[in-house]
Amino acid sequence: MKESAGTLLYRNVDGRIEVLLVHPSGNYNKNAKWGIPKGVPDEGENFEQAARRETLEETGVVAGELKSLGFVEYTKSRKRVHCFCGPAPDDAAPHCASWEVDKAEFVTLDKAKDIIHQDQGEFITRLESLIGVE
């Protein structure tokens, strides 16, 4: 089973929680769903280290303190994604830092639920429980 790891960084803007998501690049991904910045661990990396590196490589944002949100297994492929969440740095200014993504943005939780890959939506639910969003 292929395994990858990423982050779900969040911030509070005027009383609304926003999360950092990315959209995959390439014409074949034009209508693809968004997801957390993630990737496969390099040799010797644990999942949290891979999540931090991938977030920096794809968005230019350095993750601070992180907590595990566990993992999800994709329903249509043999893929397991591990996710770590934490508050985004105050000065976070995400941008497309890799050819792998064509968008890197903070979006509201409601929008995130609409645009995120169906199998990663569980991470939004877990984050809401963890930080007490109603």
pLDDT in tens, 1-22: 899 999 999 999 999 999 999 9
Interval 71-122: pLDDT, tens: 999 988 889 999 999 999 999 999 989 899 999 999 999 999 999 999 999 9
**For 2-131, which CATH superfamily applies?**
Nucleoside Triphosphate Pyrophosphohydrolase (3.90.79.10)
pTM: 0.94
The answer, yes or no, to whether residue 133 has pLDDT greater than 80, is: no
Flag whether pLDDT at 64 surpasses 90.
yes
User: Domain residue spans in the chain?
Assistant: 2-131
- How far is CA 68 from each of CA 39, 79, 103, rounded to the nearest angstrom? 16, 18, 24
For residues 83 and 38, give the distance between their C-alpha atoms in angstroms, rounded to a whole number. 8
Residue 77 structure tokens: 């492929």
Query: Phi/psi of residue 60, each to 5°?
Result: 75, 5
Average pLDDT rounded to a whole number, residues 51-59: 97
